Structure 1
Amino acid sequence: MPNTQPVAESQAPGDARPPSRVRQLAAASIGNAVEWYDWYAYSFLAVYFADQVFPKGAGNSLVPLLSTFAVFAVGFFMRPIGGLLMGAVADRRGRRAALTVTILMMGAGSLLVALTPTYATTGLLAPVVLVIARLVQGVSVGGEFAASSIFLVESAGPGRRGLFSSFMYVSTTLGQLLASGIGALLAAALTEDQMGRWGWRIAFLVGALLSLIGLWIRRGAQETLDLARDGEPAARPGLFEALRRYPRQSLLICGITAGSTLAYYTWTSYLPTYAQVNAGFDKGDALIVSTLSLAFFALLQPLGGLLSDRVGRKPLLLTFALGFAVTAVPLLHLVTDAFFSLLLVQCAGMVLLTGYTSIAAVVNAELFPARVRAAGIGFPYSLTVALFGGTAPYIGTWFKQAGHADLFPWYVAVLCLVSFVVYLVLPETARKPLER
């Protein structure tokens, strides 16, 4: 029997064509993968272009690289602003409008990075251009989660919101893998000197081109927000209306996200570095382990989404949070310089993490009515990610430098326990219709 759940159309009022679920899924997923390719390409290739954009400090060759990662952090803290602004666009102008803006901004930022002049030729203009590019990309990626995640959830058929939600992190992981793969391919095909002079720019030009492809796919998608009520244009929500009218839901978003984002960035981004710093793990082997575990992680997501549609959201969330609260310390203590120790720890964490990531989009979306759903999710989610997820590598390294490396696993465990308490009070929404 065909799926006939109503979805608002982006076509003329007389066009009654039902939306293609596959096209809707592709519009969100492919565009999101492109967004994250552009975002992660910066961190993978920073080591090659740092010397080109920033001057070296007196006798310190690490100054350019540190400056480059400082710019990366600046982009990270633009995400809450992007979540608020692009969320407002999604709630006022429609989800498709916001998705169009975010991918255009990410592509423009990627192109600007590719065209960033060198410090040797333009002086201070070089780092200024790079900062502007990352500010634009920070706003873009901050708005992408809110717009793309609710677009996925609102496009899903009955009983399939969890499954559609899972493709948020499938596409995020694919974007990350694509960025590392293209970076590795360029590094293998070019000499280190060629990579440093011009090779790194190719990856960002590819990102700009991929953004155009993603834009084309998204332009063919259909709107999921009903922009009219009873034949009249719907009143546009205020910029801070979601925070003002739904403070409890906004705080719940923060509690839902705090432990999960710390666990996510620890296991998907920081764990290889943690193994190198604390166990002397080989850098090349760490990259292989990271790639294998990320591919495994992507395959797990649809399974988690499907399971949540059958048993509910809360069992998965509670399993994730309690699992990490109990096992984060012993798992991180199992990391040694042996290849399979890190692979086992990373994959075990990915299994637990799937209890959150596969349904993050739908859990957040089911808390808010459609009118303020994007802005209601975008700002508190992005702010919490910036505070806890974005700082995970820094805090882990700081604990090591302070001589208390053993405290970082406890930090992960305690924050996951906080999220566990939040999950206990969450209402179960899997069987309820999504409020339009």
Structure 2
Amino acid sequence: MTQLSTPTRRPLRQLIAASVGNAVEWYDWYAYTFLATYIADQVFPKGSGNSLVPLLSTFAVFAVGFFMRPVGGLLMGAIADRRGRRAALTVTILLMGGSSLLVGLTPTYASAGTLAPVVLVGARLLQGLSVGGEFAASTTFLVESAGPGRRGLFSSFQYVSTTAGQLAASGIAAALVSGLGEAQMEGWGWRVPFVVGAALSLVGFWIRRGAHETRSEEQQQAAPAGLFHALRHYARQSLLICGITAGGTIAYYTWTSYLPTYAELNAGIDKANALLAGTISLAFFALLQPLGGMLSDRYGRRPLLLFFGVGFALLSVVLLRSLTGSFGSLLLVQCTGMVLLTGFTSISAAVNAEVFPARVRAAGIGFPYSLTVALFGGTAPYVGTLFKEIGSPGLFPWYVTALCLVSSAVYLRLPETAHKELER
């Protein structure tokens, strides 16, 4: 059997290298989300009289970030397969650091005119490229770094670190908003988290430079696969990634991002209580991930995936319809969903990595995964809002249910890979 160049010699260092960098990536990504209103006021003024500005605003906020992610998954995945996982991870974190700094230094529309939104759109393009590539490279790196019987555990840190980055971005944004006046936030305060993110990216880069490459020596010496090799020669596996991910991504973005807004729109819950419930449930969610990973290493991937898929198919409508205007109701619904969601998130990196051989693993995962996230996960808030606007908010829980049913059908036919050696 082909051996890895450094199989599990320093597993903790490998885990830290992937997790810290991934947390920084997602901190930068979510910082933009939390501070979007301040950015919009400075870069996309409503009264500019320039029709290009609102167009660029809509394009940047709602489309560019998510729909650049499949491109990033493909390009950075190819770098990971050709040049090594560590090389791709260093590129993605430097790319995110640079784009974060670019956001922080974006001129205002008042000082630079249309150049301001153009710069911001460019930065968001780079962020989407980086985040899409990060998942492909870090997923592969994490799973290949794990020792025997620990791939699920290592996989779980993908979402531990993602959630840590989200909570850090939320916390820093909230601290700035509460500590600075409105004029200071609009003037320079909104820039601070992005400059901090750029500095953190350098820390992540330093940590990742000391990580060990996980490709085998044989793979390092083999002729590189073409950019679209995985799509052409592993079409079935690519479609399988889409089926595995569809239900998971709609449930993830609904429960971790959209649910507070959904509760405000449909149950009349106070915004402050909605945000507090969301923060508590995210911390709870992060703590659950290693448990899910360890359970999958012992009992298999498929039982956890079915626990997630069937659980959401049966309970999505019940849970979302049970929301009332109280804090306790939202917290209970959100935490219940987080328990179910752990069946997917804690092991998705391992499941995806176990589908492809090492030669095309990163690129093979990156494009179909990021495309599915863009189509179903990134659009979840907009679909939910659309149903509300057309007077049928009750359709959204059924939409979530339908996608989870589709993925559950895939899970039923998915071969169990937890106790098999990782294909090289």
In which range does the TM-score fall when normalised by the shorter chain? Answer: over 0.9
Specify which of 139, 157, 173 is matched with residue 149 of structure 1: 139
Specify which of 398, 402, 413 is matched with residue 401 of structure 2: 413
| Cα drift, residue 65 of structure 1 | 11
- In 2, the alpha carbon distance for the partners of 1:166 and 1:18 equals 17
Tell me what 2:253 maps to: 265
1:1-80 map, 5 Å = 6-9=3-6, 19-57=9-47, 67=57, 70-80=60-70
- In 2, the alpha carbon distance for the partners of 1:195 and 1:135 equals 24
- In 2, the alpha carbon distance for the partners of 1:186 and 1:209 equals 18
- In 2, the alpha carbon distance for the partners of 1:207 and 1:196 equals 19
Specify which of 151, 170, 182 is matched with residue 172 of structure 2: 182
- In 1, the alpha carbon distance for the partners of 2:376 and 2:47 equals 30
Give the percent of matched residue pairs that are identical in Structure 1 and Structure 2: 74
Tell me what 1:207 maps to: 197
Q: Name structure 2 gaps, 5 residues minimum.
A: none
| Cα drift, residue 336 of structure 1 | 1.1
- In 2, the alpha carbon distance for the partners of 1:161 and 1:407 equals 37
- In 2, the alpha carbon distance for the partners of 1:129 and 1:77 equals 18
The answer to whether residue 258 in structure 2 is matched with residue 298 in structure 1 is: no
Tell me what 2:73 maps to: 83
- In 2, the alpha carbon distance for the partners of 1:338 and 1:18 equals 48
Specify which of 115, 120, 123 is matched with residue 130 of structure 1: 120
Tell me what 1:433 maps to: 421
| Cα drift, residue 51 of structure 1 | 1.1
Taking a change above 3 Å as real, the CA distance of residues 58 and 125 of structure 1, as seen in their structure-2 partners, is: closer
> Quick check: 63-72 or 292-301, which moved more?
63-72
- In 1, the alpha carbon distance for the partners of 2:271 and 2:352 equals 36
1:168-216 residue CA offsets vs partner (Å, 9 max, x unmatched): 0000000000000000111111001100110010010000000000000
Q: Which amino acid aligns with 1:30?
A: V
- In 1, the alpha carbon distance for the partners of 2:252 and 2:369 equals 14
- In 2, the alpha carbon distance for the partners of 1:215 and 1:227 equals 24
Tell me what 2:298 maps to: 310
The answer to whether residue 366 in structure 2 is matched with residue 373 in structure 1 is: no
Q: Which amino acid aligns with 2:46?
A: K
Tell me what 2:325 maps to: 337
Q: Which amino acid aligns with 1:395?
A: V
1:46-100 residue CA offsets vs partner (Å, 9 max, x unmatched): 11121110121489xxx96992674353111000000000000000000000001
1:296-335 residue CA offsets vs partner (Å, 9 max, x unmatched): 0000000000000000000000110000000000100011
Q: Which amino acid aligns with 1:215?
A: F
The answer to whether residue 284 in structure 2 is matched with residue 287 in structure 1 is: no
Question: Does the aligned pair in 2 maintain the 1:322–1:417 contact within 8 Å?
Answer: yes
- In 2, the alpha carbon distance for the partners of 1:164 and 1:433 equals 15
Taking a change above 3 Å as real, the CA distance of residues 308 and 18 of structure 1, as seen in their structure-2 partners, is: closer
> Quick check: 71-80 or 325-334, which moved more?
71-80
| Cα drift, residue 367 of structure 1 | 0.5
| SS, match of residue 349 in structure 2 | helix
Question: Does the aligned pair in 2 maintain the 1:99–1:144 contact within 8 Å?
Answer: yes
Specify which of 368, 372, 394 is matched with residue 382 of structure 2: 394
- In 1, the alpha carbon distance for the partners of 2:54 and 2:41 equals 6
| SS, match of residue 228 in structure 1 | helix
Question: Does the aligned pair in 2 maintain the 1:44–1:179 contact within 8 Å?
Answer: yes
- In 2, the alpha carbon distance for the partners of 1:18 and 1:247 equals 31
Question: Does the aligned pair in 1 maintain the 2:155–2:346 contact within 8 Å?
Answer: yes
Tell me what 1:353 maps to: 341
- In 2, the alpha carbon distance for the partners of 1:309 and 1:278 equals 39
| Cα drift, residue 409 of structure 1 | 0.2
- In 2, the alpha carbon distance for the partners of 1:65 and 1:406 equals 31
| Cα drift, residue 279 of structure 1 | 1.1
Tell me what 1:12 maps to: none
- In 2, the alpha carbon distance for the partners of 1:377 and 1:233 equals 22
Q: Name structure 1 gaps, 5 residues minimum.
A: 10-16
- In 1, the alpha carbon distance for the partners of 2:383 and 2:217 equals 44
- In 2, the alpha carbon distance for the partners of 1:72 and 1:100 equals 27
The answer to whether residue 308 in structure 2 is matched with residue 323 in structure 1 is: no
Question: Does the aligned pair in 1 maintain the 2:8–2:147 contact within 8 Å?
Answer: no
| SS, match of residue 243 in structure 1 | helix
1:193-247 residue CA offsets vs partner (Å, 9 max, x unmatched): 1001100100100000000000000000000012536xx8211001111111111
The answer to whether residue 100 in structure 2 is matched with residue 110 in structure 1 is: yes
Q: Which amino acid aligns with 1:168?
A: Q
| SS, match of residue 406 in structure 2 | helix
Q: How many residues align?
A: 420
Q: Which amino acid aligns with 1:204?
A: F
